[in-house]
Structure formats: C-alpha cells, structure tokens
Structure 1
C-alpha cells in the first residue's frame, strides 16, 4: 500500500502522494448580531426555574403554549413591545412560591394562575365505549385530545398537563383545575437566581421589571460587575433606577400609567435591536403602554433630566419620542468624557469588544503561534473588522498605523493598542443665517 494523507513536515517514509487541503487566507469580518434581551419577569404560565429562549417567530406562533395566552392577549403586551425591535428574548420566571393548578386527572405543566383555566373533559370513545377520549381545554379552547384511552396510565404529558397516571378515568362534562397561584411578590432571591442563570448567555440588554429599590440595586450591581470585571458587554434598562452613574445603566424617567416600569419593555427591545451604526435619539415610541410625561414637559425640565443622565420620553405633537439616547454616566473626566454617556458610542465599543473576543477565542486562542507571523495575521483580521465598522459608518478615520500588536510580558500573551473614533447620529443643529 502506498502512503498518503496529510502532512505537517516532509518526513514521510512510504512512497505516495501527501496533500494538505487548506483554506485561502480570509480576513475575519463577522459582526455579532444584535437584538437579544434578557427578561426576568413574573408570569402566569411558563417554564419554571430555568432560562427559556423565545424568538419573535416563536412568540407569534406559539405564545399560547409558551406563556399561556394567545398573541393578542392584554397580558402579553409587554412582550409584544419587546419584540417590536428585538428578535430573541431569554426569559426567566421570577415568581416566588408559585403553585401549579391540578384536578383529579392531572397537574398543570407549569406553575401560576393560568393553570386554573384548564379543564378536563372525558367521554366514552365512539368506536369502543370501554375506552375514553380525554380532552384538555384552556378556557374554551381545546388544546389537547387523547383518544381511545384504556386507563390513566396510557395518558401522555401534553404541552399543558402532566397526567396523574394512577387516577381512575370516568366520564365528566368538565373537571376544572384549581389551586394555581403566582405566589407572593418576589424578593431578591428569584431575581438573583435569574441573574446567575443569565451569566451563561450573551445578550445586549437586561431588563429590570421591578419597583423595589433593593432589587433595582441588585441589577445595577450585577451590571457593573459583569461589565467591569467579567467583560460581559450589555446594558441594563429600568425605571427610576437612581443615580447609577454608569455607561451600562439606562434609567427611564417616565413611568407608564398602567405600571411604573411599563416603558422598560419597549426600551429594552429598542436598545437591543438598534443597529450598531444607529441611534434611538428621536425614535418614535410605538409601544402599547401609555407614557406619563410628569416632570418631562418644559425645556427646563427636559434639560435637567438630560444633565442627570435620564432616558426621557417626550411629546412631539401627537407622538411620543425618545429625547436623547443616553445612559446614566455623568461623572465625566479627561479619560472618560461625555461621549461615554451616549448609548450609540457604548454600542460600538461593546461591538468591538464582543467581536474581538470572538475573533481571538475562535481563531487564535491555542491555535496560532505567538510569533511575528501570527501577530501579523491577527493585525490583519482586526483591521479588516474595523474597516467593516467604518464602512457601516459606525466609526470613522480609523488609523491603521495606530493599530499595534506585539508580544506581551509572557510567551503566551499578546498586547494590542488602537484608536477608535466612534460616529454618532446628528442631534443638534446650530444655524447662522446672514441676511444680505
């Protein structure tokens, strides 16, 4: 048998053909996708004690199965607001002490009050009266039907009910479920569990849907820690969060008339879904909650709110618009100036951080030698990525001469320096008109 296969060095013994197949060098230009929101929230129905992923398509097609209500239901308007701009939500149900409803024949698949709307209907099978047809209704809607069942042991778990396989089946026009509860108002414990679980996920925005100061402070501390110490690049959106003074925290001034944090849903989706080269300044609010403009009507009020780092909705004619796409950072210094208060700047910087980490971790970490050739390859990939951002007009005037990559203090470390000039959307126009 002749030799064959691939080679690393020219040290083969057998005669034959040795061929390597390699890809032509291609620069890394991938930009990470945006549109991901982390949503810890109280729910009437839904997976318990775990993060579950919902896409915009899932929500439109399967909201009944996932959240217990049809897409148009009033209870889901917050989620509809999220998905006006975001495409994926990571949801964690923060109900505390919730109970699943049940009846003689089964237990609701998930905890919460929505399970009380389930009902079991059992009739004799038409073809074989010794067997049963078992139907499950959610309200007036038939959601599951299992035909020609001999005994409860033959029932299988559905999207709504876990059967009690030791029950005795008997005809019933309708046996209601009862005892389902959302529990008590959640303390910090379920919120902390949710935040712990979210650490394993990548998202652009974390929503704080709470009116409790202690819980808000928990979210702020979590955001600061993950951004500053762990390197997770996302922003927190909440209502009346206080003077967080941090580029990762967006504090909505306006409450909604229905519930104080109502505008958080839309804002979280809008902040997550906006393109890296766009701003939400002056964006029209098309959500389903009603904004309260108290304290945000006069120019003096609006000016003060902006100076204090508040994310403000204001009335423009009959429309509601975002005044300025800013965060809570206000303690400007020569090293961190007012540019860091602009969310568009933070989005670009976060995009750079995320994409550069993905590039290095997937293509260089443990794979490419830390020699001059390897560092030149990394330099080329990073330059190509930055030029793509420049093509999208997210940054400008990128100086490739300022991009420097060198060996660090150890054999395995690499040091990189660059200068980035972030582009932001126009928001002010100063006009001098000379009359001849």
Structure 2
C-alpha cells in the first residue's frame, strides 16, 4: 500500500497521499483497541515475532508463563485498556526434544527456548487392559495434554500445543509399547534460548501489523529503543501514511520529541494491592488505554480504577512543567483517586501547520481517523475502478461529504458544510486533489467560575 504526505504531485506509486494541516480549508479492519508492545521480556518460550493476545488468552501455552509473572507486568498493564495486544516476542534458539529408543515416537517442543526442557511425557498402561496406554504431557508440574492409544495404534498419538509428535517405529510401535510394563516418565532436553534483538524485528513488525498504538513500555528509561520508536513512528506517519501513535516513558535521555504522534509518560502508579508501577510500566497502561480511545473520547481526567496514588506524586509546579514538556502525568486526587491529568502528546512547538490543538490526543485521533478513512475508501472503492472525470470526482466528493457529516452529527467535528470539501483534478490524468476543511471537537477541560454574591 502506497501512502503518506505530499508536497508536490509527483508520486510514482498509485495510492492516497494525505496531508493534515491547520488551515481554513485543509473500512478495513479497525485498528481501534490494538496495541503493539515491543517487549524486552526474556521468556524462553513462544513463537518468535508477534503473538496476538487477549485477556482470555492461554498465556502459559503461548508465552510459557502466567500473566501474573513479573516479567509480563507491562503486558498485564496494556491489557487493562487494550482489546488486543500484539506482543513482540524475541524468543529464539533450539527446541527441546525427546527421542528415547524405548518409545515409538519422537517429541519436539512446539517452540524454541529453555522452557521446553520443562516438558515431560508420562506413559502408563491401564491396569485392567494392558493394550491401552495413557500418554500425558506435563509442562513443569501441570498436566497440559492427555491422550490414549492402544499398543496397535501408536500412530494415533497427536501433537498438542506444547509438543509435536512423530511416529518413528517402523512396525507401527506395537513392539515398543508391548515392552513397557511400568509407568515411566521421560524429559525433553536440549532446549536453548538465544533471544533476537527487538531492534532487528521492530521495523518490519511496525510496518506490517495492524494496530493504533505502539509502545516500548517495560524497557529501561535510558534504553535507545525509545528513540528508535520515535523515529519509526515519524517515518511511518509522514512517509508511509500509517496514522499510528507511539507511547514511551519520559526520560532525560530523550528530549525535544515535539511530535504529535508520540506521547511521553512522566510518572508511575501505586496500585490497590501495593504494586508499584515504574514509569515504564505505567506507559504500558496508558498505551493500552489510548489504543482503545476513539475520536470522540478524551482521556483527560480519566480515572485509573485500580490505583491509589501517582508514584511519584508531582506538586503543582512539577505538574505544570511536565505538561508544558508535553508529558502524560498521573495525578492523585482527593479520596485516593488517580487520574490522567491531560490527554496530550509531545508536540510543544506550535506552527501555522501544527497549532496548539494538535497537542491534544483527541484532536489527533479525529484527524488520523479522517486521513485513514479517506485513504482506505479511495483505495478500496475508487482507485482503478472509477473514471477520473467530473462525474467520478463528484462521486468521491459525495462520499466524503456523507462521511464527514456523520462525524459532525456524532460531535466529533463541528460546523461542517458540504462546501468544506473540494475534489479537483490533479496535474496528471490519473491524479485527484482533495481539500477537506474540518474543525475537530475538543473536550471541556478548564472551568472558570465567577460567583457573585448579592
């Protein structure tokens, strides 16, 4: 898919090129609720690359541990707000295996990594019928699969979510199973972990996956991964037309981000159960929440349900300083309530093309939605299908007017008129130029009250 911004009408690839500027005149599967988490957790299990996870996922099967493992604290926080987490697993290495001469099968761990060495296979014959063999797969001490075969049907043993099974006995396995008299347990061995570098995977993953927010939550504040994320988000938004947003922890090692597609989190949280979330893990919480917020939603003063305190608490001066630096601040309010002070991004230097309103995430979600919908509608329904003449351009204009009127009726934009849309022929015979003038609706944030006493 070609896309991105444009300065001159000289693009080579077919596609939609969308500029978003402040001026009087300016679907596919939704990415809403989808967060890409670039993880540094060393798990020793799971498929290398992106693993799609939900709150009801079997984390033990997919990642080799439970969601309450401290290694997965960032993932747990993202899932509090996100519908889906695309977890970048860097696990690589050698798969554990079992190829004992006493058995008619070879077992190989489903994934590489040292956790495969925790898998064991237990065999036991039925005491009432010795032709029946019960085969149990254990992951650590947990039974994860149970199957039954007979001494003449060893080939019926199936692979499961933890091991793949191959019948190796030439006679079908009957002789080896007949020879087993007592219960026996066999351990898989040889599994090793050699983690891939996140930096080697993130570029392709960020460009090919479907998500709305990407985060480096969980990495140390001084990691260079945050700067790499900022650069990647800028490139994908401005050059590739992907209206994704990024969330990183604020730190002294990365300054002057000044970009509407990046939010920085200033402080952490203390939860009801006493758990302390560092700024890196609190970034995960905001990233998940932000990915699920639509164009009609602001997270300003959104209450963090299971938190009792910001950590650290910032006084008034430090809060203002952080906000002025374009940072997300968690604030403790009376009654042990914790709120997101203001739903902003890191844009702090304003221009005619990027005014102060662009520093509001709600405004950017609206503009991103319009840009994305316009691009996808053009590519799905008009590119290569509709003639580039007055009639064809009028069809596209009517489509955009109807779409924007719907946003106006939903209080996402305001004061919209059909005259705010212009669709004209471009320089080349196959190009179309669209000007959209929109006024996003912001949320109420400041109340100034004068009480007159008579």
- Indicate whether the TM-score tops 0.5: yes
Cα shift at 1:375: 0.9
Q: Which residue of 2 aligns with 1:416?
A: 434
- Shift in CA distance, 417/266, structure 1 to aligned 2, threshold 3 Å: same
Would the alpha carbon gap of residues 315 and 38 (structure 1) be closer, same or farther in structure 2, given more than 3 Å must change? same
**Which position in structure 2 is the counterpart of 1:13?**
none
Question: Residues 110 and 260 of structure 1: is their aligned pair in 2 closer, same or farther, counting only changes over 3 Å?
Answer: farther
Q: Does residue 1:312 correspond to 2:329, yes or no?
A: yes
Structure 1: segments with no counterpart, 5+ residues? 1-28
Aligned twin of 1:144: 145
1:89 aligns with 2:85: yes
Q: Is the 8 A contact 1:250 1:327 kept in 2?
A: yes
Please show how residues 102-251 of structure 1 align to structure 2 within 5 Å: 102-103=97-98, 106-126=107-127, 128-130=129-131, 132-148=133-149, 150=151, 155-163=157-165, 165-166=167-168, 172-177=183-188, 180=191, 183=194, 189-209=197-217, 210-211=219-220, 212-240=222-250, 242-243=254-255, 244-251=257-264
CA distance in 1, matches of 2:128, 2:42: 41
The change in CA–CA distance for 1:434 and 1:251 in structure 2 (over 3 A counts) is: same
Q: Which residue of 1 aligns with 2:47?
A: 48
The separation in 2 between residues aligned to 1:194 and 1:81, in whole angstroms, is 21
Equivalent residue in structure 1 for 2:405, among 381, 387, 390: 387
- CA gap of 1:107–1:152, structure 2 versus 1, over 3 A, is farther
Tell me if the contact between 1:107 and 1:161 (Cα under 8 Å) persists in the aligned partners: yes
The C-alpha deviation readout for 1:36-85, integer Å capped at 9, x for no partner, is 1112223526542332333x3xx415333323345666665543432333
Paired with 1:165 and 1:354, the residues of 2 have a C-alpha distance of: 51
**Which TM-score applies when normalising by structure 1?**
0.82
- The 2-side partners of 1:60 and 1:73 are apart by 16
Please give the alpha-carbon distance, in whole angstroms, between the structure 2 residues aligned to 1:328 and 1:129. Answer: 70
Superposition TM-score, scaled by structure 2 size: 0.79
Distance change (3 Å), C-alpha of 1:179 and 1:30 = closer
Whether contact under 8 Å (1:207, 1:237) holds in the other structure is yes
> In the TM superposition, what is the alpha-carbon distance from 1:274 to its structure 2 partner?
1.0
CA distance in 1, matches of 2:277, 2:423: 53
Moved more, 142-151 or 369-378: 142-151
- For the Cα contact (< 8 Å) 1:106–1:162, is it kept in 2? yes
Q: Per the alignment, in what secondary structure is the counterpart of residue 449 of structure 2?
A: coil
1:306 and 1:93 map into 2 onto residues whose CA distance is 33
Q: Superposition RMSD on alpha carbons, in Å?
A: 2.9
Query: Which residue pairs with 1:35 in the alignment?
Result: 33
Cα deviation per residue 1:379-414 (whole Å; 9 max; x = unaligned)? 111011111111221111113212111111011111
2:13 corresponds in structure 1 to: none
Q: Which residue of 2 aligns with 1:299?
A: 316
Match of 1:10 in 2: none
Give the conservation status (yes or no) of the 8 Å contact 1:39–1:91: yes
Q: Which has the higher strand share?
A: 2
Q: How does 1:321-400 map to 2 (within 5 A)?
A: 321-400=339-418
Q: Deviations over 1:243-270 (max 9, x none)?
A: 2111111111114645552112211110
Residue 64 (structure 2) aligned to one of 62, 68, 77: 68
Deviations 1:345-393 (A, max 9, x none): 1111110111111111111000011111111111111011111111221
Provide closer, same or farther for how the CA distance between residues 120 and 205 of structure 1 changes in structure 2, counting only shifts above 3 A: same
Secondary structure of 2:344's aligned partner: coil
- 2-side partners of 1:300 and 1:40: how far apart? 33
Aligned CA distance change for structure 1 residues 61 and 69 (closer, same or farther; 3 Å): same
Per chain length, whose mean CA-contact separation is higher, i.e. which structure has more relative contact order (CA < 8 Å, sep 6+)?
2
Aligned length: 399
| 8 Å Cα contact 1:282/1:324 also seen in 2 | yes
